Amino acid sequence: MIPYPRIRPDIVSIGPFHIRWYGLMYVAGFVTGYYLIQRQRRSREIGLIGPVAQELVFALAVGLIVGARLGYLLFYQYMDLSYYLSHPIEIVALWHGGMSFHGGLIGSVVAGWWFCRRKRLPFLAVGDSVIVAAPVGLFFGRIGNFINGELFGRVTSVPWAMVFPAGGPLPRHPSQIYEALGEGLVLFLILWHLRKKRFQDGMMVVWFLGLYGMIRFFLEFFREPDPQLGFVIGPFTMGQVLCTAMIVGALLLTLLLRRTKAKENK
Question: Is the per-residue pLDDT at 17 higher than 90?
Answer: no
Helix (H, G, I), strand (E, B) or coil at 122: coil
Question: Is the per-residue pLDDT at 246 higher than 90?
Answer: yes
Mean pLDDT for 246-255 is 97
Question: Is the per-residue pLDDT at 18 higher than 80?
Answer: no
Q: Which residues have C-beta within 8 Å of that of residue 153, sequence separation ≥ 6?
A: 172, 173, 174, 175, 176, 178, 222, 223, 224
Instruction: Report the alpha-carbon angle 11-28-187, nearest 5.
Output: 125
Please state the separation of Cα 197 from the chain's center in Å: 24
Using CA atoms, how far residue 211 sits from 55, 133, 147, 204, 243, in Å, is: 28, 14, 26, 10, 10
- pLDDT-derived band at 263 (thresholds 50, 70, 90) equals confident
Structure-model confidence comparison of residues 262 and 159, the more confident one: 159
Quick check: 56 and 118 in contact, CB under 8 A? Answer: no
pLDDT tens digit string along 157-182? 999 999 999 999 999 999 999 999 99
Mean pLDDT for 113-136 is 96
Mean pLDDT for 209-236 is 95
Q: Report how far residue 136's alpha carbon sits from residue 184's, in angstroms, rounded to the nearest whole number.
A: 6
The residue extents of the domains of the chain are 10-265
